[in-house]
């Protein structure tokens, strides 16, 4: 995880130690507010067009290169052959018995969206989030949440040890467990996507090189090559055609899954993150 403070201090002094920054699009937006990123010259990034990067992942200061999805994972041996299909099932501890795990704000944004989806809010009507309603729904599950996870591997550990039967998880974290023979699967319905991307530090000493590397990294071929080595979901829809069917369908970004998920509304979270986190911490203490 990138610690923002030292880098922002270097940029303010006009001496950034790095040129190209790979960070969440939400963090890039925070950097823009601190005047810490170069305004991008789109003509120097030919691959943005050729890779067909989605418009909503192109800003004046950053371009989205991949996303990770928060979704649910469950033990396939826990529910007598039944499979949870939705967040409503995650909340249904009668039909799907056993403990749950959800993330702590140290791990990711509080999972208000999942509570609202469980309560019947349509995916395209989530934002602006109804915070009061979300906490009401979370409270219904609070007694069944055995642990709040704060790091990527923890949901897998809890599921492996059978401490919980279902957990929220980052989508790429389940594949290794499946390879080890742990009876777990992910459900991508209602997945929350958050994009990562590239930006150039304000005052970068090697701006030309940064542009070249960014242009190369955003190519569909480059994104596909990365996805073969690491469970990262390319932002370029063309990258998926360059993968085998098995490689493609292992990724939450595959065309067949894409419409099952939604993009995090960064602007909403930037305005509300600190208030929601404070309320979440009070709520979790009960």
Tokens read off for 257: 């899954």
- DSSP strand pairing (100-103 vs 262-263): unpaired
Peptide bond into 130 cis (omega under 30): no
User: Would you give the distance in Å from CA 15 to the centre of its chain?
Assistant: 31
CB 110 within 8 A of CB 116: no
User: Would you give the distance in Å from CA 54 to the centre of its chain?
Assistant: 16
Q: Which helix (H) or strand (E) holds 62?
A: strand 62-75
Q: Both 148 and 113 in a single domain?
A: yes
Q: Both 274 and 210 in a single domain?
A: no
Q: Both 281 and 166 in a single domain?
A: yes
Q: Both 214 and 248 in a single domain?
A: yes
Q: Both 184 and 201 in a single domain?
A: no
Peptide bond into 128 cis (omega under 30): yes
3-class state of residue 24 by DSSP: strand
The predicted structure's pLDDT at residue 1: 45
CB 159 within 8 A of CB 180: no
pTM assigned to the model: 0.92
* CATH number of the domain within which 201 lies: 3.40.190.10
Q: Both 98 and 113 in a single domain?
A: yes
- DSSP strand pairing (145-149 vs 100-103): parallel
What is the rounded distance in angstroms from the CA atom of residue 211 to the CA atom of residue 17?
16
Q: Both 172 and 126 in a single domain?
A: yes
> Domain total for the chain?
2
Residue 89 CB contacts under 8 Å (≥ 6 apart), including other chains: 95, 96
Q: Both 73 and 63 in a single domain?
A: no
Number of helices and strands in the chain (H, E):
13, 8
Rounded to 5°, angle at Cα 179 from 173 and 185? 55
Q: Both 25 and 74 in a single domain?
A: no
Give the structural domain span for 49.
4-67+194-258
Q: Label each residue of 147-200 as H, E or C.
A: EEECCCCHHHHHHHCCCCCEEEEEHHHCHHHHHCCCCEEEEEEEEEEEEEEEEE
Q: Both 268 and 221 in a single domain?
A: no
- Per residue of the chain (286 residues), what is the pLDDT tens digit? 457 889 999 999 999 999 999 999 999 999 999 999 999 999 999 999 999 999 999 999 999 999 999 999 999 999 999 999 999 999 999 999 999 999 999 999 999 999 999 999 999 999 999 999 999 999 999 999 999 999 999 999 999 999 999 999 999 888 888 889 999 999 999 999 999 999 999 999 999 999 999 999 999 999 999 999 988 899 999 999 999 999 999 999 999 999 999 999 999 999 999 999 999 999 999 8
Q: Both 77 and 39 in a single domain?
A: no
What is the rounded distance in angstroms from the CA atom of residue 228 to the CA atom of residue 232?
9
The predicted structure's pLDDT at residue 230: 85
DSSP letter for 104, please. Answer: -
Q: Both 76 and 63 in a single domain?
A: no
């Amino acid at each position: 995880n990138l610690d923002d403070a030292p880098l922002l201090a270097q940029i303010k002094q006009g001496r950034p130690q790095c040129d190209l920054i790979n960070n969440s699009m939400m963090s890039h937006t925070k950097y823009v507010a601190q005047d810490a990123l170069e305004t991008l010259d789109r003509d120097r990034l030919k691959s943005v067009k050729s890779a067909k990067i989605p418009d909503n992942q192109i800003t004046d200061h950053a371009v989205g290169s991949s996303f990770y999805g928060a979704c649910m994972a469950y033990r396939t041996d826990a529910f007598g052959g039944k499979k949870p299909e939705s967040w409503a099932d995650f909340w249904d501890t009668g039909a799907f018995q056993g403990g749950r795990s959800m993330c702590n704000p140290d791990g990711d944004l509080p999972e208000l969206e999942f509570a609202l989806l469980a309560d019947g809010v349509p995916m395209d009507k989530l934002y602006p989030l109804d915070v009061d309603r979300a906490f009401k729904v979370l409270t219904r599950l609070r007694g069944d949440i055995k642990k709040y996870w704060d790091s990527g591997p923890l949901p897998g550990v809890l599921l492996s040890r059978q401490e919980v039967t279902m957990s929220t998880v980052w989508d790429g974290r389940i594949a290794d467990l499946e390879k080890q023979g742990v009876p777990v699967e992910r459900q991508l319905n209602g997945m929350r996507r958050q994009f990562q991307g590239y930006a150039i530090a304000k005052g970068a000493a090697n701006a030309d090189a940064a542009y070249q590397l960014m242009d190369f990294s955003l190519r569909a071929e480059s994104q596909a090559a990365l996805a073969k080595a690491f469970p990262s979901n390319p932002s370029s829809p063309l990258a998926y055609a360059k993968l085998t069917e098995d490689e493609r369908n292992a990724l939450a970004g595959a065309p067949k899954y894409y419409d099952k998920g939604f993009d995090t509304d960064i602007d909403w979270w930037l305005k509300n993150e600190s208030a929601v986190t404070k309320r979440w911490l009070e709520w979790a203490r009960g």
